[in-house]
Structure 1
């Protein structure tokens, strides 16, 4: 580490900040259904998830290699490019957390890296084949596969348990949820923590500290694992509420089916080196499980906003990163200006979030709209996907409407 310059140190710290935001942004992936069904108390759930995220970070480096040596051409990457990429990823993570939308931290990071690389050296610096096969295809396939698996699993559990005592069955599945939530947390550590390992390794290669193609050093693995675990323990309560109560109403059988299906998809992708979005997998599994119970519902207005956020993640993070890269090219003052912009934006988003606090005490409240802060971000996303007539997400009080007007019943 003796060759690390001040700029490289700033990049590493920024990468760990992103890892921290990834942790609290994605806590919902593992624990939203466990919390919403009452299988675990909120604070206990996030503590358990944090520990298992840390353990998972040490189990594999395949995804880290995809990020550090496959997505972009290392020869054209500088520490400034990576810094700009992280700025785009962090701001998108915080904006989507602010409005309670479970978007992909992974795609925010990759979108930022692609945007900054294109701004620096052009499209030739991006390995298009890797982007398609290991990013875009898994992005589409993961929620579909996890959703179908969860729907079938939920239907199977209800069929098997149709003649058993409902209370005893629910108690058993709550215990199963705890185990499956732990598996999702472990899987999250094997996939998402590695993305920060990969980006730090790429920065070290760009700064001539490591040789191209090197594996992440142990200190990188440890620091990335700790950062994501701390973020997970903080708890992304806004997104937990959306996934646990905003998308659908889950019973313990459905929660178990959703978590088991999502964990299977994530672990398989980690083994293959696919930089999968755990958010896409878990959200797809939650919706699939919601449809797996007779009379189950999915709130499609919330799901539609989530899908739009997914589609905007890569280009939005990429555009912010490209703009940041343009400024950092101007020299040291440009890097300083981008750093100040990032810090000021983070502080502003935090203060806005304090207007309506969501924490472990109110995370299971059903009405997610009530705690979404009003402002530019909410207005922008709503403008892209205007709610259907009579939708329950409105800023003007309206007469109560039947559930059928707000949800799709299967």
Structure 2
């Protein structure tokens, strides 16, 4: 195999590989001889088929396999000797493919962008600030009040009282379309909270102001995208009888409330809430520290970036942002979305930090365990209720999907590794200060 360099500009590499015809013929003959003892053919005993006949029948296919193996082997050897790490799958093309015939040398062009050398960085030079927030009594009290509201009961209003938004009305109802009752459109003693939006749009608003024993005719229109197709877009009338009007009554903040939420008593519930709040604060503080860490790394480390990676990332960013701005479009049947200079700048940052974190993680032997991957898959599967098995099978068979789940876990572990080496100081702040710091983060 002869290798000739044709391009070496920045990170771009080009080579011409020449596979001598004699070497290919020798490889083909060796493969045929190896298979000969197991081949049977009409008119010949097993293992006695002449090599010339085998070459005539199987030669082209074996030649193709021999070419592929020779090219793969030559490329692998070249990368090992050069130390290059391609940023993406190398582009391999046969120069004389159309006119090639047996007995000719095979000439192949190989091109790729090499990953850059990542400069060393002293992680101890990084200075980070870790914000800490204690669960304040006011926040715990607010959380308790919200729990009490969610566990609220309803009690009868004074006779003759009109229903207000937030009240519960107990109703009997019968729904009809074009004068005909429809299946599922009737109910008795149904407790409906006004303003909950649990019924068809416009239904609950027509019961505001109703009193116990009132007969109310509710006229609505089923949404065009309603699940039952025979009702979608149809006008409907519901004859309602209001049997009771009840006012919301928040649950008492006491041991009984605590038991409803799985705690032994009120003090235990407060401790549980405090722990949850502090975990939320810690998560937000970590995001702030991670952003500061990435900003410092981006400032400290500069190196040439593979254009192909930057271009792919810029297009992905542009495509993602376009869909966020056009949420009504769920498919990809739209025109080309060209990245802006801002998209390209953001792409350069992401590619630079991605390569840097990968290098640091590799040197530190950071890895993602099977248990961590399993947990990530289980968590992702919750987004597809009823389709979990199909999701698991998809992940098992799709390397790209596995990498999408593995990448953020790996990145977070590398960030933790860097933070352990950096100089970190803790700073106690209030909940409001933490929220302000979170709001100041740009979406990157």
The TM-score, its normalising length taken from structure 1, stands at 0.18
Q: 1 or 2 for the larger relative contact order (CA 8 Å, sep ≥6)?
A: 1
Higher strand share: 2
The TM-score, its normalising length taken from structure 2, stands at 0.17
Higher helix share: 1
Tell which structure's C-alpha radius of gyration is larger. Answer: 2
